[in-house]
Structure 1
Amino acid sequence: MTHLVPLAKEVDDDKVTPGVLGFIVFAVMALAVWGLMKSMNKHMRKVDFKDPESDTESAKESAKESASRS
């Protein structure tokens, strides 16, 4: 292991580090979260957030207006 880290003065065999595998796993998870957020944004733009009660109220108001015109 010491030939892989020539700049280190002393390599502690008891020290646990994430290493390259840890970085790869973290990078994959970050890309997955980014993809999920992008997909969620796309789907949330398609959602209609109108309240059903306001739709019925506006329908009642338009019915009253049309009845008063007749």
Structure 2
Amino acid sequence: MTDVTPLAKELTEYTVTPGVLGFIVFAVLGVGVWVLLRSMSRHLGRIDFEEGAGERRDGGEPAADESSTGRSAATSS
């Protein structure tokens, strides 16, 4: 039987490389992560919240919300 690829080297774990396609895929993933991080940073920067809003309301009584009572709106009705 004849050798199909007479110029091919013996393939080992050290001779096989990802090549150009691997680099392109890695670069596209890196750019995608960078875009998502910029978007997340921009969206988090738009959040407006009050410091200590959940501590006390109307001068003394603790806030009564679902997280402090452990009940949701669906189970309370």
Provide the residue aligned with 1:22 in structure 2: 22
Provide the residue aligned with 1:66 in structure 2: none
Higher strand share: 2
Amino acid at match of 2:54: E
Confirm or deny that 1:31 pairs with 2:31.
yes
CA RMSD of aligned residues (A): 2.4
The unaligned stretches of length 5 or more in structure 2 are 1-7, 61-77
- 1:26: how far off? 0.3
Deviations 1:29-70 (A, max 9, x none): 0000000000000000011343432472xx538xxxxxxxxx
Greater length-normalized contact order (CA 8 Å, ≥ 6 residues apart) = 1
Provide the residue aligned with 1:53 in structure 2: 54
The unaligned stretches of length 5 or more in structure 1 are 1-10, 62-70
Identity rate, percent: 43
Higher helix share: 1
Per the normalisation by structure 2, the TM-score is 0.51
Regions of 4+ moved over 4 Å: none
How far, CA to CA, are the matches of 1:35 and 1:13 in structure 2? 41
